Amino acid sequence: MAQIKTILCAVDFSEHSAEVADYSQTMANALGAKVKVLYVAPSLTQYVGFHVPPTSIESFVGEIVSGAEKTMDAFLEERFDKCDAEGAVVTGYAAEEILDYAQEHKVDMIIMGTHGRKGIDRILFGSVAEKVVQTSSVPVLTIRPSA
C-alpha cells in the first residue's frame, strides 16, 4: 500500500489557493501526513536584456519574495491550523521549481490548482499544472476552481 507522509501544496495566493489548501489539509489529516506549502515567485531573469539594470531586477524580486514570505506566514496561520504544515517561497519557473522541490524534499503527493485556461490563453501561457502532471514522479491531485 502506498504511504503518503508528505504532501506538497503548491499555491499562487490567488483566491483559488484557499480551496487547494482545504484539500491539502483534509488529505493530510486523513493520512496523518505533513504538508509543505510552496509559493514560486517569478525570477524576472528574462528582463535582464531589456535595458533594465540587473540590480533593479534583483531588488524588485527581493521585494516580491519578502512580501510573499509575509503572505505565506499569514496563509499558513489561516489555512493550516489543523495540521503539521510549513511554508517555503522560492523563485524561478513555477513547474520546474515545484518538481525540484518535490524531489528534493521527497514528497509523496503534490496538490495544486488549475486555472482552467482555454484557447489562446492556454497556448500563450501554457499550464503549470499540466507540466507538473506530465513530468512528476509522484501522484498529482489537481483542483479546478469552483464555479
**CATH code for position 60:** 3.40.50.620
Q: Is residue 1 one of the residues assigned to a domain? A: no
Residue 134 in domain: yes
**Domain coverage including residue 104:** 6-143
Neighbouring residues of 139: CB distance < 8 A, sequence distance ≥ 6: 108, 109, 110
In a domain, 55, yes or no: yes
Looking at the domain assignment, is residue 72 inside a domain?
yes
How many separate domains does the chain show?
Answer: 1
pTM assigned to the model? 0.86
Measured at the CA of 133, the angle between CA 145 and CA 117, to 5 degrees, comes to 40
CA quadruple 23, 26, 30, 34: dihedral sign: positive
CB atoms within 10 A of CB 58: 14
C-alpha cell at 66: 519578502
pLDDT of residue 73: 96
Question: Residue 88 domain-assigned?
Answer: yes
| In-domain check, residue 36 | yes
How many contiguous H segments (helices) and E segments (strands) does the chain have?
5, 5
Note the pLDDT of residue 145. Answer: 83
Tens place of pLDDT per residue across the chain (147 aa): 789 999 999 999 988 999 999 999 999 999 999 999 999 988 766 555 565 565 666 676 678 788 899 999 999 999 999 999 999 999 999 999 999 999 999 999 999 998 766 665 555 556 899 999 999 999 999 998 876
Is 30 within the bounds of a domain? yes
